[in-house]
Structure 1
Amino acid sequence: MADDPSAADRNVEIWKIKKLIKSLEAARGNGTSMISLIIPPKDQISRVAKMLADEFGTASNIKSRVNRLSVLGAITSVQQRLKLYNKVPPNGLVVYCGTIVTEEGKEKKVNIDFEPFKPINTSLYLCDNKFHTEALTALLSDDSKFGFIVIDGSGALFGTLQGNTREVLHKFTVDLPKKHGRGGQSALRFARLRMEKRHNYVRKVAETAVQLFISGDKVNVAGLVLAGSADFKTELSQSDMFDQVRSKCSIV
């Protein structure tokens, strides 16, 4: 993996965020003029802009003149940062703005905005005397991506789970013949047909799993979770066609 440029870039991003978290956690301010804003990927800039305008109106009523001006200044800084974006980036947007007090006791303005290295599915707006970095820390701790397959008698769903980010990769439905109580030759023929359709369905699920979770002979998830009907899960996990997946990653 070390010679993979994308892995190297990701490691640099992780290092940068760790460094940023350390400096943000240490920062303190007077009053509640330090704003932490996190916008998840599918949110709208317009909604957040309206929320900030409302907050500006509320902050105008803060009694302490010094704190009022600090909070209004921080909200204005966030509004200016948002103007740089037409829409929320694919991985979401993180903004930290406010006035901090340095170790020398001097005031210093902080304005930070960036798109995280992977989707951040948290919505946050807080005015405080410190920056809130819990969601960034969670991004680093939940770095393993797991694949999952939900299989039952009506269809299959394939997806990935990384931290609190769930993505559906593919799904399809199936119409399998139900058991019936007829006797004789027709029952045997029907049972054979039913088993054949079931076998073909499990085969399709196994083939789809190989396409989605194996890239260039390497598995692209840390592990694979099977969920759904117990019968179908057992049949899939024991299927010869599933060998390629089973031999390359742990199945839960």
Structure 2
Amino acid sequence: MSVKFSTIAFDADDTLWENEQFFQVTQGRFADLLADFTEPDHLAERLLAAERRNLGRYGFGIKGFMLSMIETAIEVTDERVSASVIKELISAGQEMLQHPVHLLDGAAETVAQLAQDYIILLITKGDLLDQERKLAQSGLGEFFDGVEIVSNKTPQVYTEIFTRHSARPDQIMMVGNSMKSDVIAPIHAGAWGVFVPHNRTWDIEHAEPPLGHPKFQELENLHALPALIAQISNSR
């Protein structure tokens, strides 16, 4: 079917710039600090469980990750974890909050190209200050007609965003690396969902792809996005 797109929306973390790799590096440091108390795989399971429990309290982002690490450290050590280890975990989180932004291949060129013809939105979730910092450092801010930093990405949240920007859902394409948040949720809100996989994705963001859905697409990288838009727009 032919579609006249008005708006292209992008996820930020691990779609436009690196993010998850810094969490994994810190998690490796976490495992080293607690190596005397538990095996890395068991620690990873406990940490993931804590993160799931705490999403409703802390939301997504580095600060919630830090608190979940501290909580897990207390649990797996039967409250024997030292203050020096807690200090190390806080320091690791602070380093993550100061890490330079590394744009992914094709991000700058693709966003700049599409900004010439479409309304461009950034729709990302996580800590407000950290996301604002990364956007400012990315050099991409001038290309976005709107920036939405939300606590979660649900169909209702997408509907509210589309309404706020006076955009018809069927004329919107959402692009991201999370099948759950960037593809399935916007499709349920009436938009198109384009999955651009990243080699590192947080377990909580995994979901089965909506194979066969007419508004679902998957691309190898962002370089292929303009051609996909043109293909859908010109199809009959």
Identify the structure with the greater helix proportion: 2
TM-score (normalised: structure 1): 0.28
Structure with greater strand share of residues: 1
TM-score by length of 2: 0.30
